[in-house]
Amino acid sequence: MKKLIILSLAVSLIIIAGCKKSAKEMLTGTWKLKSEEGVKLTPEDKQNTMIFTPEGVLTMKMGTESHSGKWIMGADDKSVKVIPPAGEGDTTLWNIESLDTKEFTFTAGEPKHKVTLEKQQ
């Protein structure tokens, strides 16, 4: 009986550990702008969204404007490469400060600029 309980606990722990979402899965979805270091956001700014699709498409919606490009999760899950359409800017690297199912904080640019997004349901 004791062996059965230990085996059941071990299987449960393996299942729980296997259910953790990858960084790519956590990033996929719609995010709203929560804060931007050194910037006082207006209520309109806080309506800006970023949509990350599982296929690697990134759509940024700012007011009535919408821009799409591509995104690639870094091999180490500590960065995101953002690639705009040809002729619409430079590829940028976002360094992930924190990422979970509710909040995404990254730094980008020189000097480093910190942005925090909040996951939408």
Taking residues 11-31, what's their average pLDDT?
A: 72
Provide the 8-state DSSP code for 21: P
How many whole angstroms separate alpha carbon 76 and alpha carbon 85? 25
Q: Determine, yes or no, domain membership for 10.
A: no
Q: Determine, yes or no, domain membership for 97.
A: yes
Classify burial at 46, counting beta carbons within 10 Å of its beta carbon; exposed 0-12, middle 13-18, buried 19 or more: middle
How many whole angstroms separate alpha carbon 103 and alpha carbon 117? 6
What is the end-to-end Cα distance of the chain in Å, rounded?
44
Q: Determine, yes or no, domain membership for 5.
A: no
pTM (whole model) above 0.85: no
Would you say residue 6 has pLDDT above 60? Answer: no
Across the chain, mean pLDDT equals 86
What pLDDT is recorded for position 4?
44
Number of domains, the chain: 1
Q: Determine, yes or no, domain membership for 46.
A: yes
CB 78 within 8 A of CB 9: no
Q: Determine, yes or no, domain membership for 15.
A: no
What pLDDT is recorded for position 87?
75
Would you say residue 48 has pLDDT above 60? Answer: yes
Would you say residue 13 has pLDDT above 60? Answer: no
What is the domain range of residue 84?
Answer: 22-119
Q: Determine, yes or no, domain membership for 59.
A: yes
CA 60 from chain center: how many Å? Answer: 13
Closest CA to 55 of 77, 74, 73: 73
CB 93 within 8 A of CB 4: no
Q: Tens digit of pLDDT for each residue in 54-89?
A: 999 999 999 999 999 999 999 999 999 999 987 788
What pLDDT is recorded for position 19?
57
The rounded percent of the chain whose pLDDT value lies above 90 is: 71
Give the CATH number of the domain where residue 67 resides. 2.40.128.540
Q: Determine, yes or no, domain membership for 1.
A: no
